[in-house]
Chains A and B, each alone.
Chain A
Amino acid sequence: MPSPVSAPNPPAVCLQRISRRFGEHQVLDELSLEIAPGEFVALLGASGSGKTTLLRALAGLDRIDGGELHAPAATATVFQEPRLMPWKRVRHNVALGVRRADAHQLALQALDEVGLSHRIDAYPATLSGGEAQRAALARGLVREPELFLLDEPFAALDALTRIRMHALLLELWRKHRPAVLLVTHDINEAILLADRVLVLVQGRIAEDVPVPWPRPRHQGEARFDTLRRHFLSLLGVPEADGAEHESADGADRRPHNTQET
């Protein structure tokens, strides 16, 4: 856990001119980025802009072709799908790979923090979409990450559940203060949550916008709307007021879409 920021703190994440190609396609193009300890950064980008590639590189799931990448060893990742092991009960999923004598106790504590203490013995197949994603958050949390990587974690949830999850994520972040990199293509989500919003266009960071407003933020505010329009134009979406809902994945895709508790 990073201590509260004191002046010359080394960044939690430091990327220097990293590149990644897939065949002819330059997915990441000499991208540089720093994330301070405890900073909440959202990464916006259209499909194919390289945002998932960047996150996977940070998670250690993909190599990079060039440049330098420094990320903390204590990194946790939450994907768009919960990716829980279907054969393990929720608490065993959360404790999986935690190498501490009190792993089980920590798992229960983390599940309590995400509001799942009543589902600790459930199998993942019986969870609703929101519950499963809460369990995935708990599984990340229990590792006490210095860097929390979130790859469109709420994209597959219904709108109401997503609002609850936003609040939960902010609460967890405030309490544990990991650096967060939230990859999303939901502009509202980015502005609502992050200290800083990055816009990724063709493998480069096209814009780096701090959002210094206090939370909770509200979508009705004028500055919110201005910023949203700005991001829309950066992402190449022509202004069409009223009709836009920036999340491309609005529907809950999980089979057991029982009501969120």
Chain B
Amino acid sequence: MRLALRYGRGGAAAGKTPPAGPPARLLNQLLLRGSSPLAILLIWELASRTGVLPAHILAAPSQIGSAFWNLLASGELLGHLLVSAGRSLAGVSIGVAGGITLALISGLSRAGEIAVDAPMQMLRTLPSLALVPLFILWLGVGEAMKISMIAFGTAFPIYLTLFSGIRGVEAKLVEAAKTLGLTRLELIRHVILPGALPTFFVGLRFSLGGSWLALVVVEQVNAVQGIGFLANDARDFARTDVIVVCLLIYSLLGLTVDVLVRALERWALAWRPSFLNNP
């Protein structure tokens, strides 16, 4: 949808420019879209060079660029990035697996719902990041605490959406499946789980968004590696250029994962009318 919106805007903008061939029009669009960010960068650079914007408040774009290059060239950035990505992956895997398991237990049986749903609904009202002190007391300040925090925050969106997805599968389809003589297991596999998949993906997006938030917070706690550590370390030396590089890395990570999830969704939900009508 976002893509369509952009395309629409670009199309409207292109309408104002004189008619040109497709490649030239694309270039025009790019220039048009890019002109404002480019101007901001120029003004920013100018402000830094003339001393209006001191480096301890915000480094110049050129300085940020060279800091990025240096960190990349030395291999330092990649090392921290891998550590952060590893933490995130571990936490998300545990959280998603836990959320799915609990949602299956409470979604597929009354007894499971009684056992699992009420506590989960109570726990989910806790802002998970407020639990950091407790997790530190329980698990120390090491990796276990960091991964657990990420997992904890990730599990709830998955649980909530998958549970409601399972319960929301169209009753008429379940009825039809019964007339086809499906066993309970077949019903779950062929009807209930595929029917719950669209809402599951909504939950997955929320989960991943939450996982970045948790990552940023836990990496501020006694980390000696990771993007969060890099940013914290840079703060001690007032290296605003490195801090900005870290922010950019976080947003790039988020963007990359979002693209991956979209691709996964497109593949898994290929049957949906919205995807069928504009592949």
Contacts and interface: CB of A to CB of B under 8 A. Distances in A.
Interface of A: 59-61, 75-77, 79, 81, 83, 85-88, 96-97, 123-126, 139, 143, 255
B178 A61 contact: yes
Given A59-B179, A60-B179, A97-B180, A88 B173 contact: no
16 contacts: A60-B179, A61-B178, A79-B172, A83-B175, A83-B176, A85-B177, A87-B195, A87-B197, A88-B190, A88-B194, A97-B177, A97-B182, A124-B271, A125-B273, A126-B276, A143-B180
B188 interface: no
Nearest to A59: B179
A126 B271 CA distance: 9
Contacts of B2: none
B276 A83 contact: no
Q: What 3 pairs across the A-B complex have the smallest Cβ distances?
A: A83-B176, A97-B180, A87-B194
A83 B173 contact: yes
B197 A97 contact: no
Contacts of B195: 87
Contacts of B197: 87
Contacts of B273: 125, 255
Contact of A85 (B178, B179, B191): B191
B272 interface: yes
B175 A96 contact: no
Contacts, number: 54
B181 interface: yes
**Interface size bucket, B side?**
20 to 34
Given A85-B191, A87-B197, A97 B181 contact: yes
A96 B179 CA distance: 11
B143 interface: no
Contacts of B269: 87
A126 B194 CA distance: 18
Interface of B: 172-173, 175-182, 186, 190-191, 194-195, 197, 269-273, 276
Nearest to B186: A97
Contact of B182 (A77, A87, A96, A123): A96
Given A83-B173, A97-B182, A126-B276, 6 more contacts: A75-B179, A77-B176, A83-B172, A86-B272, A88-B194, A139-B180
Contacts of B179: 59-61, 75-77
A125 B269 CA distance: 12
B175 A85 contact: no
Nearest to B190: A96
Contacts of A60: 178-179
A77 B180 CA distance: 8
Contacts of A143: 180-181
A255 B173 CA distance: 18
Contacts of A83: 172-173, 175-176
A86 B176 contact: no
A121 B175 CA distance: 24
A253 to B, nearest CB: 14
A105 to B, nearest CB: 18
Contacts of B178: 60-61
B173 A125 contact: no
Contacts of B194: 85, 87-88
Contacts of B276: 123, 125-126
B103 to A, nearest CB: 19
Nearest to A56: B175
B270 to A, nearest CB: 8
B12 to A, nearest CB: 29
Nearest to A99: B181
A184 to B, nearest CB: 19
Given A60-B178, A79-B176, A96-B180, A85 B272 contact: no
Contacts of A125: 271-273, 276
B101 to A, nearest CB: 22
B139 to A, nearest CB: 41
A83 B181 CA distance: 15
- Most B C-beta atoms less than 10 A away, residue of A75, A79, A97, A143: A97
Contacts of A88: 190, 194, 271
Contacts of A77: 176, 179
A96 B194 CA distance: 14
Find the residue from B173, B178, B179 having the highest chain A CB count within 10 A: B179
B271 A86 contact: yes
A33 to B, nearest CB: 20
A257 to B, nearest CB: 14
B220 to A, nearest CB: 43
A25 B279 CA distance: 50
Contacts of A123: 270-271, 276
